[in-house]
Amino acid sequence: MTANRIRLAATFAAVLAAGIAQTAVGADDEIVLGAADSLTGKYSVNGKNTQDGYNLAAQVINDKGGVKVGNKHYKLRIVYYDDESTSARGAQLVERLITQDHVNFVLGPYSSALTKAIAPITEKYKVPMVEGNGADRALFMQGYKYMFAVLNTSDYYLRAAVTILADETKKAGRDPKSLKIAIAIENDNFSQDVRDGVIEDAKKYGMKVVIDDKLPADLNDMSSTLTKVKALKPDALFISGHEKGAVLGIRQVAAEKVYVPMLALTHCDSAQITEKFGKDADYAFCGSQWDPSLTYTDRWFGNPQKYTELFKKTFNYEPPYQAAESTAAVEVFADAIERAGSLDREKVRDALAKTNLMTFYGPVKFDSTGKNTAKSMVMYQVQHEKYVVVAPAKWATAKPIFPAPTWAKREAATTVGAK
Amino acid sequence: MENLSVLIEAPILLVQLVVGGILIGAIFALVAYGMALVWGVMKIINIAQGEFVMLGGYVVFYLSRAGIPPLAGVPIAAVVMYCVGLALYRIVIFRVVGRDMFTSILATFGISILLQQLANQIFSADIRTVPSTLPSLLFAGGLVTIPEIKLVSFAAALLVGFALIVFLRQTRLGRAIRATAQNDRAARVLGVDTDHVYAMTFAINCAICGAAGGLVAMTWFVQPYLGLTYTLRSFMIVIAAGLGNVPGVIVAGAGLGVVEEAAGFVLGAEYQTAFIFVLLILILIGRNLALARQRRYLK
């Protein structure tokens, strides 16, 4: 009886193992990339952007013949797991991708927090990871050798807004030293770093930080912070809290009629603030990694405009930068694998380190810590319910409007316009 | 403490904090009624409370997309959620009524995860908002602003509370519900169909949450994972107010809102939630001491 059972169990285990082995090791003309991505949980909006970006890259590269290694063409296949937006789960799943699914390489997860959890694992197994969604500066201070990031670090998201604030104030004949700023961020790695960037630059100009609030993770309301803004009347309010932060920021600032000359945010485009709030979103400044109007060239997609068109056709929404940087991460892998002429992880790592690639997302060149030093961020402003690029000057399509008109003036303008 | 001095210099802001807090608390109170009802009558702590709020929000969101004004969508959300509640009772909840409380917590926890993930699959994780189309009222030169939608929520909370009291006191079903809450066995002996009472109680709870969800979508946003906030807040309000105490729920809800706003202002937003839970613990300790004293008297 027991012997029978053991035999049964053994057979079952063998079948199971065979099944796993089959799904795991790719066919011999395949390169398997593994990704733990946030398909559920608090990051799931951007997790989906990330997945769509990866999938579009794989699809286009495969359609155009795949990745050429030596004389052989390989197709890309991506294996996904859902990390539920939790770090512990992400780390487990990446270990599983490497040890059980035997993926060739790893693509990054969504968010700095998840990337932080995963990087030690990819380092341990010496598997190269290219990521497009972990922007926390601390990631690049650990001496990681196998992690490469195509995006700018998160402290750069709103630095340009501080510069605009200072420049416009000087133009108006006031000293930037007289400026007061308020910061409200979600208490996570990414937003902390956004905050640090703002504070560093604000200190350079001698501005005074009058509010420095860290909103709870189950961020559902920020009215007490806004009451403080009403009381202390800062010249600028910086909000960072992924989509929720952007949505709440615009909605509550408008509903409570809180006036700030400058409102600067992150994640405006993926939160779709112009679609949701129309005129209420006007004059907001938004830091972004990328914009469809930029003029880069690309081997696979042509340029940012063509990428945007194809993305919209495939997924039925405008690509936010989170999708674009994910696509770029796959492109960087394709390029490095071709240059390495091998699927050997060490050779690909060395090729990655020597990357000098132009993509639709921007130039990619890694420093010794693995961060992309070639690309710069863009700063939008919402003007007449449209995003226009106001910095850097090279791509600016409009001048920044500062200070924003008061709510009374904005409402008067609306009534006139309505007539 | 810099913030405290701001408050002393401009006491008008205190008005904003108190009014804002009361109005926010009203929505929590609405959700808490339902929880108190289910808890009192069925002895079930419904962990899926927040998920019902979330679903109600989505109902109003999709209705408003179809061209129905959001405020008209709120009662429809209540009706839809009433049906959802009835279905959930017939499928799952009737199996756990009368069992150990731990079983019902597990069951409703399961429902909450299921609803979250289903919502994520069906509605996607995008953050949705419903335009409230109501203006904001300005007082004291703009230092005190009250978005009218919050006033509407407050009125709705009072109205539902009042309707609930009348319903429980005056109607046949209401009396049956109270009888079942007091002693389900005796109610059954006297001919009350307790299964029907449970089904109605659960469905009414869902309807209340659905209406609250619609208001939440108009005031803030909806997203598949917003439930926990409402479950926790309503749990806390019920703990503080006690079961079967509808006016107490309103007061506790408003109090929670005010304290939360004030804590956010004075201590900074990072301590807002922590402060609330510290307060909860203090309330529980206080309660325990009071009860212990009563027990001593009984000896």
Domain ranges of chain A: 2-152+294-365, 156-288+384-418
Question: What does the alpha-carbon distance between residue B62 and residue B55 come to, in Å, rounded to a whole number?
Answer: 11
B10 touches chain A (CB under 8 A): yes
Residues of chain B with pLDDT > 70, as a percent, come to 99
For A184, the enclosing helix (H) or strand (E) is: strand A180-186
Question: What does the alpha-carbon distance between residue A375 and residue A289 come to, in Å, rounded to a whole number?
Answer: 9
Find the Cα–Cα–Cα–Cα dihedral A234, A237, A238, A243, rounded to 10°. 160
| Residues with Cβ within 8 Å of residue A376, at least 6 apart in sequence | A152, A362, A392
Token digits for A236? 């600028």
**Can you give the pLDDT at residue A218?**
73
- Each residue's pLDDT tens digit, B47-105: 999 999 999 999 999 999 999 998 899 999 999 999 999 999 999 999 999 888 899 99
Residue A104 DSSP code: S
Check if the beta carbon of residue A147 is closer than 8 Å to that of residue A139: yes
> Which residues on B lie below 8 Å from A40 (Cβ)?
116-117, 120, 125
Cα A362 from chain centroid (whole Å)? 14
- Each residue's pLDDT tens digit, B180-212: 999 999 999 999 999 999 999 999 999 999 999
- A156-288+384-418, CATH topology level: Rossmann fold (3.40.50)
**Can you give the pLDDT at residue B247?**
85
Q: CATH assignment of A2-152+294-365, given 3.40.50.2000, 3.30.70.3280, 3.40.50.1100, 3.40.50.2300?
A: 3.40.50.2300
Q: Which of B9, B54, B129, B153 to mutate to test the interface with A (most CBs of A within 10 A)?
A: B129
Q: pTM value?
A: 0.83
Which of residues 34 through 73 in chain B touch A, CB cutoff 8 A? none
- Each residue's pLDDT tens digit, B156-168: 888 988 998 899 9
Strand order in the sheet with A284-288: A208-215, A180-186, A236-240, A262-266, A284-288, A378-383, A386-391
Kindly list the distances between the CA atom of residue B69 and the CA atoms of B61, B129, B147, B235, in Å, as whole numbers in the listed order: 10, 13, 17, 31
- Per DSSP, the three-state class of B22 is helix
Q: Which of A221, A239, A252, A274 to mutate to test the interface with B (most CBs of B within 10 A)?
A: A221
Residue A84 DSSP code: T
**Can you give the pLDDT at residue A25?**
53
| Residues with Cβ within 8 Å of residue A188, at least 6 apart in sequence | A111, A112, A113, A217
Check if the beta carbon of residue A176 is closer than 8 Å to that of residue A206: yes
Residue stretches of chain A with pLDDT short of 70? 1-27, 414-419
User: In sequence order, what are the beta bridge partners of A36?
Assistant: A81
| The residue to which tokens 């409703």 are assigned | B108
- B2-298, CATH topology level: ABC transporter involved in vitamin B12 uptake, BtuC (1.10.3470)
Size of interface A-B (CB pairs under 8 A): 111
Amino acid at A94: V
Q: Do B229 and A218 touch (CB under 8 A)?
A: yes
The per-residue pLDDT of chain B, averaged, comes to 89
Matching fold, domains A2-152+294-365 and A156-288+384-418? yes
For A204, the enclosing helix (H) or strand (E) is: helix A189-204
Token digits for B58? 């989505």
Chain B nearest CA to A243, separation (Å)? 7
Token digits for B94? 């009737």
Strands (E), B124-244: 136-139, 144-147
Q: Do B265 and A227 touch (CB under 8 A)?
A: yes
Question: What does the alpha-carbon distance between residue A272 and residue B21 come to, in Å, rounded to a whole number?
Answer: 28
